[in-house]
Amino acid sequence: MGTGTAGERDARWAELTYEAIAPVYDAYTSFNDYEGWIADLLPILERRGLRGRRLLDVACGTGKSFLPMLPRGWEVAGCDISASMLEEAGAKVGEEVRLSVADMRELPVFGEFDLVWSLDDAVNYMLDEEELTRALRGMRANLAPTGLLLFDVNALHAYRSIWAMTEAFAELEDGRRVVWHGEADADAEPGSICEARMTIEGPGTAAGEGDVEELATHRQRHFPEQEVLAALERAGLECLDVYGQSTDGIPRKPLDEAAHTKAIFIARAG
């Protein structure tokens, strides 16, 4: 996964992972219904006082998370740690969206935004509470005075299920498949760091057999609700809502780490 010393590679591992998977990311996530998910989230944000139409999408990837906001009339800026992911996003939107390479652990101030969000468990790529706090402080610095922050993290059930299984998630145009190899324990403990490998496997082969190309390794940390709440407080943010979400994509209360795959947090500057 790239050159450099072991220490440099370790510091850049998330960047290198997404550089590797950028060409297949849209196929790999083709089952994700961002339009439906955002249609459920926006009314929740509006009830919490969302005003204005300026969005900063942190870890925007190939743009799938912000695309539903453009026909709604939002002014969007996006950033991601991977230049290759942003190239894919730029091919979709041209100059309509301001895109910048940025590491959320050292997030620049891009402006004042009515909504800052980081979707699809990007925050779980922070590997300790200090990194999480730094990321949240950076997001807070980009909020307008009345702005809202929205982000999700994987709940414990996700690591005990999705991150503990092997499954072919996508078929590419050439007949090869993108296969997810979860390496977490089915009884992973709260706060665990979990890994999953992605491979591309030849057409007509069963998972793990035939022509296999190692693509990337994902590494995430589970953040229990109380750790997230403590990090929000350290970052100068006030938590307004916590929702749980299952694979149907519908936010519900209360969060149940044993049943939900995601936890969704809404906050504002404290």
| Whether residue 216 sits in one domain with residue 227 | no
| Whether residue 187 sits in one domain with residue 105 | no
Looking at the domain assignment, is residue 1 inside a domain?
A: no
* Per-residue pLDDT reduced to its tens digit, 173-200: 888 999 999 999 999 999 999 999 999 9
| Whether residue 254 sits in one domain with residue 133 | yes
Looking at the domain assignment, is residue 54 inside a domain?
A: yes
- The residues facing 76 across adjacent strands are 55
| Whether residue 230 sits in one domain with residue 144 | yes
The amino acid occupying position 62 is T
| Whether residue 231 sits in one domain with residue 163 | no
CATH code: domain of residue 38: 3.40.50.150
- 42 CB neighbour count, 10 Å cutoff: 16
- Give the per-residue pLDDT at 9: 45
Would you list the DSSP string of 27-72?
HHTTT--HHHHHHHHHHHHHHTT--S-EEEEET-TTTTTTGGGTTT
Q: What share of the chain is helix, strand, coil (3-state, %, to 5)?
A: 35, 30, 35
- The residues facing 58 across adjacent strands are 79
In angstroms, the CA 79 to CA 186 distance is: 33
| Whether residue 19 sits in one domain with residue 141 | yes
| Whether residue 70 sits in one domain with residue 188 | no
pTM (two decimals): 0.94
Looking at the domain assignment, is residue 63 inside a domain?
A: yes
* Per-residue pLDDT reduced to its tens digit, 205-230: 554 556 899 999 999 999 999 999 99
| Whether residue 42 sits in one domain with residue 32 | yes
Domain that holds residue 184: 157-221
* Per-residue pLDDT reduced to its tens digit, 85-101: 999 999 999 999 999 99
- Give the per-residue pLDDT at 140: 98
Count of domains observed in the chain: 2
| Whether residue 145 sits in one domain with residue 230 | yes
| Whether residue 146 sits in one domain with residue 172 | no
3-class secondary structure, 181 = strand
Contacts of 48 (CB under 8 A, 6+ apart): 148, 240, 241, 266, 268
| Whether residue 248 sits in one domain with residue 233 | yes
At 202, is the pLDDT very low, low, confident or very high (cuts 50, 70, 90)? Answer: confident
- Give the per-residue pLDDT at 11: 67
Looking at the domain assignment, is residue 192 inside a domain?
A: yes
| Whether residue 250 sits in one domain with residue 182 | no
In angstroms, the CA 192 to CA 190 distance is: 6
